[in-house]
Amino acid sequence: MKTFGPRLQAAMAELGPVCVGIDPHPELMQAWELPVTAEGLEQFAEICVEAFDGLVALVKPQVAFFEAFGSQGIAVLERTISVLRASGTLVLADAKRGDIGSTMAAYARTWLDDESPLCSDAVTVSPFLGFGSLEPALDLASRNNHGVFVLAATSNPEGAQVQLARNTDGRSVSQTIVDEVAARNVGEQLGSVGIVLGATLASAPDLTELNGPILLPGVGAQGGGPDEVRKLVGTHGRAAVPSASREILREGPSVTALRDALARTTDSFAFLQE
Protein backbone atom coordinates (compact mmCIF):
# COMPACT_ATOMS: atom_id res chain seq x y z
CA MET A 1 0.00 0.00 0.00
CA LYS A 2 1.22 3.50 -0.83
CA THR A 3 2.00 5.86 2.00
CA PHE A 4 -0.73 8.26 3.08
CA GLY A 5 0.68 11.36 1.39
CA PRO A 6 0.57 10.02 -2.19
CA ARG A 7 -2.83 8.41 -1.56
CA LEU A 8 -4.23 11.76 -0.41
CA GLN A 9 -2.55 13.52 -3.33
CA ALA A 10 -4.18 11.13 -5.80
CA ALA A 11 -7.59 11.51 -4.15
CA MET A 12 -7.36 15.31 -4.33
CA ALA A 13 -6.33 15.20 -7.99
CA GLU A 14 -9.35 13.03 -8.80
CA LEU A 15 -12.03 14.49 -6.49
CA GLY A 16 -10.81 17.96 -5.57
CA PRO A 17 -8.96 19.12 -2.47
CA VAL A 18 -11.84 19.48 -0.01
CA CYS A 19 -12.15 17.63 3.29
CA VAL A 20 -15.67 17.26 4.67
CA GLY A 21 -16.27 17.05 8.39
CA ILE A 22 -18.84 14.76 9.95
CA ASP A 23 -19.76 16.85 12.99
CA PRO A 24 -22.98 15.57 14.60
CA HIS A 25 -23.45 18.65 16.77
CA PRO A 26 -26.70 18.53 18.75
CA GLU A 27 -27.98 21.69 17.05
CA LEU A 28 -27.36 20.18 13.63
CA MET A 29 -29.06 16.95 14.62
CA GLN A 30 -32.09 18.94 15.75
CA ALA A 31 -32.05 20.97 12.52
CA TRP A 32 -32.15 17.65 10.66
CA GLU A 33 -35.13 16.67 12.87
CA LEU A 34 -33.17 13.83 14.42
CA PRO A 35 -33.27 12.94 18.12
CA VAL A 36 -30.13 13.83 20.06
CA THR A 37 -29.60 10.17 20.95
CA ALA A 38 -27.34 7.36 19.81
CA GLU A 39 -30.05 6.38 17.32
CA GLY A 40 -30.14 9.91 15.92
CA LEU A 41 -26.36 9.91 15.76
CA GLU A 42 -26.39 6.75 13.69
CA GLN A 43 -28.93 8.24 11.28
CA PHE A 44 -26.82 11.39 10.97
CA ALA A 45 -23.68 9.41 10.23
CA GLU A 46 -25.42 7.16 7.72
CA ILE A 47 -26.75 10.17 5.80
CA CYS A 48 -23.26 11.68 5.70
CA VAL A 49 -21.74 8.43 4.46
CA GLU A 50 -24.35 8.15 1.72
CA ALA A 51 -23.78 11.76 0.69
CA PHE A 52 -19.98 11.84 0.68
CA ASP A 53 -18.64 8.31 0.21
CA GLY A 54 -16.57 8.16 -2.95
CA LEU A 55 -17.15 11.84 -3.77
CA VAL A 56 -14.60 13.60 -1.58
CA ALA A 57 -10.86 13.29 -1.06
CA LEU A 58 -11.02 13.13 2.73
CA VAL A 59 -13.74 12.72 5.36
CA LYS A 60 -13.07 13.96 8.89
CA PRO A 61 -15.31 12.63 11.67
CA GLN A 62 -15.09 14.89 14.74
CA VAL A 63 -14.48 12.26 17.39
CA ALA A 64 -15.77 14.29 20.35
CA PHE A 65 -19.32 14.40 19.02
CA PHE A 66 -19.38 10.60 18.87
CA GLU A 67 -17.72 10.13 22.26
CA ALA A 68 -20.46 12.26 23.82
CA PHE A 69 -22.82 9.31 23.37
CA GLY A 70 -20.57 6.87 25.21
CA SER A 71 -20.05 3.33 24.01
CA GLN A 72 -22.98 3.55 21.58
CA GLY A 73 -21.42 6.63 20.00
CA ILE A 74 -18.06 4.91 19.65
CA ALA A 75 -19.80 1.98 17.97
CA VAL A 76 -21.36 4.38 15.45
CA LEU A 77 -17.94 5.90 14.83
CA GLU A 78 -16.42 2.45 14.28
CA ARG A 79 -19.07 1.62 11.68
CA THR A 80 -18.72 5.00 9.98
CA ILE A 81 -14.96 4.68 9.64
CA SER A 82 -15.21 1.07 8.49
CA VAL A 83 -17.78 1.73 5.75
CA LEU A 84 -15.92 4.73 4.37
CA ARG A 85 -12.52 3.04 4.33
CA ALA A 86 -13.91 -0.19 2.86
CA SER A 87 -15.01 1.74 -0.22
CA GLY A 88 -11.68 3.55 -0.55
CA THR A 89 -12.63 6.92 0.94
CA LEU A 90 -9.83 8.31 3.09
CA VAL A 91 -10.75 8.98 6.72
CA LEU A 92 -9.09 11.45 9.07
CA ALA A 93 -10.06 10.91 12.71
CA ASP A 94 -10.21 14.37 14.26
CA ALA A 95 -9.20 13.29 17.75
CA LYS A 96 -6.44 15.83 18.55
CA ARG A 97 -4.70 13.40 20.88
CA GLY A 98 -1.57 14.38 22.76
CA ASP A 99 0.24 12.78 25.69
CA ILE A 100 3.53 11.13 26.56
CA GLY A 101 5.06 7.67 26.63
CA SER A 102 2.80 4.65 26.92
CA THR A 103 -0.36 6.78 26.92
CA MET A 104 0.54 8.36 23.58
CA ALA A 105 1.40 4.90 22.30
CA ALA A 106 -2.08 3.72 23.29
CA TYR A 107 -3.67 6.63 21.45
CA ALA A 108 -1.55 5.76 18.43
CA ARG A 109 -2.72 2.13 18.50
CA THR A 110 -6.34 3.26 18.71
CA TRP A 111 -6.27 5.33 15.54
CA LEU A 112 -3.33 3.99 13.52
CA ASP A 113 -3.05 0.25 14.22
CA ASP A 114 -4.62 -1.80 11.45
CA GLU A 115 -6.03 -4.23 14.02
CA SER A 116 -7.96 -1.50 15.86
CA PRO A 117 -11.69 -1.14 15.12
CA LEU A 118 -11.15 2.63 15.06
CA CYS A 119 -8.17 2.53 12.69
CA SER A 120 -8.26 5.47 10.30
CA ASP A 121 -6.11 6.60 7.42
CA ALA A 122 -4.86 9.52 9.53
CA VAL A 123 -5.39 11.23 12.87
CA THR A 124 -4.98 14.75 14.24
CA VAL A 125 -2.57 15.14 17.16
CA SER A 126 -1.53 17.91 19.54
CA PRO A 127 2.22 18.62 19.93
CA PHE A 128 2.03 20.96 22.90
CA LEU A 129 3.65 18.50 25.30
CA GLY A 130 6.67 18.80 23.00
CA PHE A 131 6.98 17.53 19.45
CA GLY A 132 9.00 14.55 20.66
CA SER A 133 5.99 13.31 22.62
CA LEU A 134 4.37 12.45 19.27
CA GLU A 135 6.98 9.83 18.38
CA PRO A 136 4.71 6.82 19.09
CA ALA A 137 2.08 8.13 16.67
CA LEU A 138 4.58 9.25 14.05
CA ASP A 139 6.44 5.94 14.15
CA LEU A 140 3.31 3.77 13.99
CA ALA A 141 1.86 5.87 11.19
CA SER A 142 5.08 5.44 9.22
CA ARG A 143 5.13 1.67 9.73
CA ASN A 144 1.50 1.28 8.69
CA ASN A 145 1.44 3.79 5.82
CA HIS A 146 -0.97 6.08 7.65
CA GLY A 147 -0.87 9.84 8.18
CA VAL A 148 -0.69 12.30 11.05
CA PHE A 149 -1.84 15.93 11.07
CA VAL A 150 -0.12 18.00 13.74
CA LEU A 151 -1.75 21.10 15.19
CA ALA A 152 0.53 24.01 14.23
CA ALA A 153 -1.40 27.27 14.02
CA THR A 154 -5.07 27.26 14.95
CA SER A 155 -7.51 30.11 14.43
CA ASN A 156 -9.00 30.26 17.93
CA PRO A 157 -7.85 33.47 19.66
CA GLU A 158 -6.54 31.57 22.70
CA GLY A 159 -4.13 29.60 20.53
CA ALA A 160 -1.82 32.54 20.03
CA GLN A 161 -0.81 32.46 23.70
CA VAL A 162 1.09 29.22 23.06
CA GLN A 163 1.57 29.07 19.32
CA LEU A 164 3.12 32.53 18.88
CA ALA A 165 5.41 32.24 21.88
CA ARG A 166 9.11 32.36 20.97
CA ASN A 167 11.69 29.67 21.59
CA THR A 168 15.24 30.47 22.63
CA ASP A 169 16.27 30.39 18.96
CA GLY A 170 13.71 33.09 18.12
CA ARG A 171 11.29 30.87 16.22
CA SER A 172 7.62 30.82 17.16
CA VAL A 173 6.24 27.57 18.55
CA SER A 174 4.14 27.26 15.39
CA GLN A 175 7.18 27.63 13.16
CA THR A 176 9.07 25.09 15.23
CA ILE A 177 6.25 22.59 14.75
CA VAL A 178 6.19 23.19 10.99
CA ASP A 179 9.96 22.70 10.83
CA GLU A 180 9.75 19.46 12.84
CA VAL A 181 7.05 18.17 10.48
CA ALA A 182 9.13 19.18 7.46
CA ALA A 183 12.03 17.11 8.78
CA ARG A 184 9.73 14.06 8.72
CA ASN A 185 8.81 14.62 5.08
CA VAL A 186 12.26 15.02 3.53
CA GLY A 187 12.64 13.05 0.31
CA GLU A 188 8.94 12.19 -0.02
CA GLN A 189 6.72 12.88 -3.04
CA LEU A 190 4.26 14.36 -0.56
CA GLY A 191 4.95 13.53 3.03
CA SER A 192 2.45 11.75 5.24
CA VAL A 193 2.90 14.12 8.16
CA GLY A 194 0.79 17.23 7.72
CA ILE A 195 -0.12 20.28 9.74
CA VAL A 196 -3.37 21.89 10.85
CA LEU A 197 -3.53 25.57 9.90
CA GLY A 198 -6.64 27.62 10.71
CA ALA A 199 -8.20 28.96 7.51
CA THR A 200 -9.10 32.29 9.11
CA LEU A 201 -5.60 33.18 10.33
CA ALA A 202 -4.12 36.47 9.18
CA SER A 203 -0.79 34.83 8.34
CA ALA A 204 0.92 31.44 8.31
CA PRO A 205 4.30 30.14 9.41
CA ASP A 206 6.89 29.65 6.68
CA LEU A 207 5.75 26.56 4.75
CA THR A 208 8.64 26.47 2.27
CA GLU A 209 10.16 23.18 3.45
CA LEU A 210 6.98 21.50 4.71
CA ASN A 211 6.38 19.05 1.84
CA GLY A 212 3.27 17.72 3.58
CA PRO A 213 -0.49 18.22 3.46
CA ILE A 214 -1.97 21.37 4.99
CA LEU A 215 -5.39 20.85 6.59
CA LEU A 216 -7.29 24.14 6.76
CA PRO A 217 -10.34 23.92 9.05
CA GLY A 218 -12.64 26.90 9.33
CA VAL A 219 -13.85 27.08 5.73
CA GLY A 220 -17.36 28.36 5.22
CA ALA A 221 -19.38 29.01 8.37
CA GLN A 222 -16.32 30.15 10.32
CA GLY A 223 -15.36 32.69 7.67
CA GLY A 224 -12.57 31.03 5.71
CA GLY A 225 -12.89 31.04 1.94
CA PRO A 226 -10.85 30.73 -1.25
CA ASP A 227 -9.20 34.13 -0.83
CA GLU A 228 -8.11 33.39 2.73
CA VAL A 229 -6.77 29.95 1.81
CA ARG A 230 -4.93 31.29 -1.22
CA LYS A 231 -3.23 33.93 0.94
CA LEU A 232 -2.18 31.43 3.62
CA VAL A 233 -0.77 28.66 1.45
CA GLY A 234 0.81 30.77 -1.29
CA THR A 235 2.63 28.52 -3.74
CA HIS A 236 1.78 25.38 -1.77
CA GLY A 237 -1.77 25.09 -3.08
CA ARG A 238 -1.45 21.48 -4.23
CA ALA A 239 -0.82 20.45 -0.63
CA ALA A 240 -3.78 22.44 0.75
CA VAL A 241 -6.81 20.57 2.08
CA PRO A 242 -9.60 23.06 2.92
CA SER A 243 -11.93 21.54 5.49
CA ALA A 244 -15.63 22.42 5.61
CA SER A 245 -18.16 21.08 8.07
CA ARG A 246 -21.15 23.24 9.01
CA GLU A 247 -21.14 25.08 5.68
CA ILE A 248 -22.02 21.80 4.00
CA LEU A 249 -23.82 19.94 6.77
CA ARG A 250 -26.40 22.66 7.35
CA GLU A 251 -27.83 21.75 3.92
CA GLY A 252 -28.88 18.32 5.23
CA PRO A 253 -30.54 15.97 5.77
CA SER A 254 -31.20 15.77 2.04
CA VAL A 255 -28.43 13.69 0.46
CA THR A 256 -28.90 15.59 -2.80
CA ALA A 257 -28.57 18.95 -1.04
CA LEU A 258 -25.45 17.78 0.81
CA ARG A 259 -23.87 16.63 -2.43
CA ASP A 260 -24.75 19.93 -4.12
CA ALA A 261 -23.15 21.87 -1.26
CA LEU A 262 -20.05 19.69 -1.50
CA ALA A 263 -19.87 20.28 -5.27
CA ARG A 264 -20.10 24.06 -4.80
CA THR A 265 -17.36 24.03 -2.18
CA THR A 266 -15.15 21.78 -4.29
CA ASP A 267 -15.58 24.04 -7.32
CA SER A 268 -14.61 27.11 -5.29
CA PHE A 269 -11.27 25.51 -4.39
CA ALA A 270 -10.49 23.91 -7.75
CA PHE A 271 -7.73 26.48 -8.31
CA LEU A 272 -5.60 24.72 -5.67
CA GLN A 273 -5.06 21.76 -7.97
CA GLU A 274 -4.28 23.81 -11.07
Q: Residue 9 belongs to a domain with what CATH number?
A: 3.20.20.70
pLDDT number for residue 126: 98
231 assigned to active site = no
pLDDT number for residue 222: 74
pLDDT number for residue 224: 87
Task: Give the containing element (helix H, strand E) for 111.
Answer: helix 101-112
Total domains in the chain come to: 1
Closest CA to 147 of 122, 126, 124: 122
Q: Assess whether pLDDT exceeds 90 at residue 213.
A: yes
Catalytic member of 2, 60, 96, 231: 96
pLDDT number for residue 184: 97
Task: Give the containing element (helix H, strand E) for 149.
Answer: strand 147-153
Q: Tell me the mean pLDDT in the region 217-245.
A: 93
Q: Assess whether pLDDT exceeds 90 at residue 245.
A: yes
Closest CA to 21 of 215, 249, 220, 224: 249
pLDDT in tens, 152-196: 999 999 999 999 999 999 999 999 999 999 999 999 999 999 999
Show the domain range for 181.
Answer: 4-273
More confident residue, 224 or 72: 72
pLDDT in tens, 115-129: 999 999 999 999 999
Q: Assess whether pLDDT exceeds 80 at residue 1.
A: no
Q: Specify the pTM.
A: 0.97
Q: Assess whether pLDDT exceeds 80 at residue 231.
A: yes
